[in-house]
């Protein structure tokens, strides 16, 4: 598959007669770290769904690692190399499972019968929790976790499938500022050390202003279409694109435009 990463050509996404994303064009080689930035209702989640084969474009083409997510044979291949972390707000947090059991779930279903969720599978699950420094959560019930702990558990679960592409929808939602920065640093380290491609959505750019992320990660400014593409440090200087993306929110566009991105 070479260096083929993510490629969108004239992609329009609709819900009936309502256009969520219009004429999106984007291309990045793998491994990539892409931040899809925009306000609520901008079409960010719909864009992610289209990339993983869950929302077919009304027009245009999408390729992920050289594969078409709307060709059955290609989608089957993609399902083996792509892991999705959904929004926490869309998950039942009262599920009576411990962290290691949640992480082990994809391993359990991928194993051959007779399937046993025993000590061996628990050890493997803890290995993935350890990858992100969360092995201490292994026996904690999901219902008893904080928002940050749940997010770590879901990321470890996604890693258990050994993905080449990690897709995260609003992974920073409902987290305090310190936890947001911690999760972003964790994802960047996974990208750098393991060469995993990552694409995520957010409406909060602040945690991504740390270096080297600000200078090296790619960002899309999205509100019904892609208004700008570029490195985070550069894109925040594009006042017109920021106003087009966030203009519905009084003062936010100007506040973002005046941010000076500093190394940490």
Burial of 234 (0-12, 13-18, 19+ CB in 10 A): middle
pLDDT score for 213: 95
Residue among 58, 134, 76 nearest 103 (CA): 134
User: Which residue range forms the structural domain that includes residue 47?
Assistant: 1-81+164-264
Question: Residue 261 pLDDT more than 70?
Answer: no
86 part of a folded domain: no
Residues 229, 168 within the same domain: yes
Specify the pTM: 0.88
**pLDDT per residue over 132-160, tens digit each?**
889 999 999 999 999 889 999 999 999 99
- Can you tell me the mean pLDDT for 54-79? 96
Residues 169, 256 within the same domain: yes
| 22 to 76, 116, 241: CA distances (angstroms) | 27, 47, 15
51 part of a folded domain: yes
Question: Residue 233 pLDDT more than 70?
Answer: yes
Residues 176, 262 within the same domain: yes
129 part of a folded domain: yes
Rounded to whole angstroms, the Cα distance separating 44 from 35 reads 10
List the CATH number of the domain containing 73: 3.40.50.300
Contact between 169 and 45 under an 8 Å Cβ cutoff? The reply is yes
**pLDDT per residue over 161-211, tens digit each?**
899 999 999 999 888 898 899 999 999 999 999 999 999 999 888 899 989
Domain end marker among 162, 182, 197: 162
Domain end marker among 162, 180, 204: 162
Burial of 118 (0-12, 13-18, 19+ CB in 10 A): exposed
Residues 170, 262 within the same domain: yes
Q: Chain-centre distance of CA 99, in angstroms?
A: 20
Q: How many domains does the chain have?
A: 2
Residues 155, 203 within the same domain: no
258 part of a folded domain: yes
Residues 152, 178 within the same domain: no
């Amino acid at each position: 598959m070479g260096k083929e990463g993510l490629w969108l050509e004239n992609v329009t996404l609709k819900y009936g007669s309502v256009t969520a994303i219009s004429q999106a064009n984007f291309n990045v080689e793998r491994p990539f770290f892409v931040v899809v930035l925009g306000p609520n209702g901008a079409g960010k989640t719909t864009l992610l769904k289209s990339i993983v084969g869950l929302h077919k474009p009304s027009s245009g083409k999408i390729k992920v690692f050289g594969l078409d997510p709307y060709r059955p044979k290609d989608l089957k291949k993609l399902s083996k190399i792509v892991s999705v972390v959904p929004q926490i707000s869309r998950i039942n947090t009262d599920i009576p499972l411990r962290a290691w059991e949640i992480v082990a779930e994809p391993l359990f279903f991928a194993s051959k019968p007779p399937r046993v969720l025993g000590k061996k599978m628990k050890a493997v699950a803890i290995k993935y929790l350890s990858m992100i420094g969360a092995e201490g959560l292994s026996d904690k019930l999901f219902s008893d976790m904080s928002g940050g702990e749940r997010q770590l558990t879901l990321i470890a679960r996604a890693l258990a499938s050994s993905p080449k592409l990690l897709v995260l929808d609003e992974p920073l939602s409902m987290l305090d500022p310190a936890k947001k920065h911690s999760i972003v640093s964790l994802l960047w380290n996974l990208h750098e050390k393991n060469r995993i491609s990552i694409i995520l959505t957010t409406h909060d750019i602040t945690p991504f202003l740390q270096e080297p992320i600000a200078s090296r990660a790619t960002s899309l400014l999205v509100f019904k279409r892609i208004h700008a593409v570029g490195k985070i440090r550069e894109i925040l200087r594009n006042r017109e694109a920021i106003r087009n993306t966030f203009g519905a929110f009084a003062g936010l566009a100007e506040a973002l435009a005046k941010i000076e991105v500093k190394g940490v």
